[in-house]
Amino acid sequence: MENYNERKLNLLQNIGKLIKVIDDEVDWYIASFREKDPKRRMLARTFFFEKLKERERLAKEAYVRSK
């Protein structure tokens, strides 16, 4: 039972960290819309979506490992 509670606590802590990261990324993405230079704006959005895909892949791996 203790192991289950530890895993649950770790999962909740990781979710909290992910929420913080997502909030930061959303702020950064919104700021990229205000970028005046079209090349820099496109580059910022490309990085954002690439990081999003990588995070999704890592989240799936973590979910599979937690089962």
Q: Please state, in angstroms and rounded to a whole number, the distance separating the CA atoms of residues 30 and 24.
A: 10
pTM over 0.95: no
Predicted local confidence at residue 29, as pLDDT: 72
What crossing angle do the helices spanning 38-66 and 2-33 adopt, rounded to 10°?
170
What ranges in the chain are assigned the alpha helix state H? 2-33, 38-66
Cα 19 from Cα 11, distance rounded (Å)? 12
Sign of the CA dihedral with 44 first, then 47, 53, and 58 last:
negative
pLDDT score recorded for residue 33? 73
- What's the mean pLDDT when you consider all of the chain? 79
Judged against a pLDDT cut of 80, whether residue 1 lies above it is answered with no
